[in-house]
Amino acid sequence: NLNGIIKQLSADRIAAVKSVSAPIKAFEDKIKGLCAKIEGARDSLASQVKVFEDAAREAKRRDVLFAIETLTAEAGYPGLKIEVQDSWLNKTQTPKDTANAIKAIIEDHITAEKNALALEQAKRDRAEAIEDTLAAHAGEPLQLTRDHRSASFSSLSSSERDASPFAVADQQQHHQ
């Protein structure tokens, strides 16, 4: 009979726990349902905010592209390709800061272009100076220095003169 008593006590315990736990279980179910509704509303709001932020970002991109077009044209470089930086599209980025960044890129381009033109002019000037020097000393043998980057005119022996690359080139021109 002890087994019967144990069985009865266990059944009574389970019934007591069920009756006491029923309101708690009902409360948990209500809270879970409420949380699911709140999460659904939150997700809906988040997607609406994302749509709004994307639209605002795209509007800012158009404003930045217009600023690039305007500032490059004002600087005399219409059509200059300037990539839109992601930081320029941030909410915290002011139009003034964006314009200053664009102007800095334009100034860098102008400086690079001026440097390239100056380098080309220096090359032309050097070539012209070499041609003038060669023309002024036409017929004189050219003696190359050790590093072959500069040349000086002086008296060379006839074998040195004949071996000079300039003499060989002169001989080829006379034979044409």
Asked whether 106 and 70 are in contact (CB, 8 A), the reply is no
Residue 114 corresponds to which tokens in the numbers above? Answer: 């001026």
Q: pLDDT per residue over 76-124, tens digit each? A: 999 899 999 999 999 899 999 999 999 999 999 999 999 999 999 999 9
User: pLDDT of 18-55, one tens digit each?
Assistant: 999 999 999 999 999 999 999 999 999 999 999 999 99
pLDDT at 122: 94
Determine the 3-state secondary structure of 77 from DSSP.
coil
- The answer to whether residues 86 and 117 touch, using CB atoms and an 8 Å cutoff, is no
Distance from C-alpha of 95 to C-alpha of 63, rounded to nearest angstrom: 9
With beta carbons less than 8 A apart as the criterion, state whether 141 and 160 touch.
yes
State the number of CA atoms in the 13 A half-sphere of 49 facing the CB. 6
Map residue 40 onto helix, strand or coil.
helix
CB atoms within 10 A of CB 41: 10
Q: Which residues pair with 152 in a beta bridge?
A: 143
The predicted structure's pLDDT at residue 16: 94
Question: In this predicted model, what pLDDT tens digit does every residue of 114-170 receive, in sequence order?
Answer: 999 999 999 999 999 988 888 887 777 666 555 544 444 454 455 555 555 555 455
Rounded to a whole number, what is the largest CA-CA distance in the chain?
138
Q: Which helix (H) or strand (E) holds 144?
A: strand 142-144
151 — phi, psi (to 5°)?
-135, 155
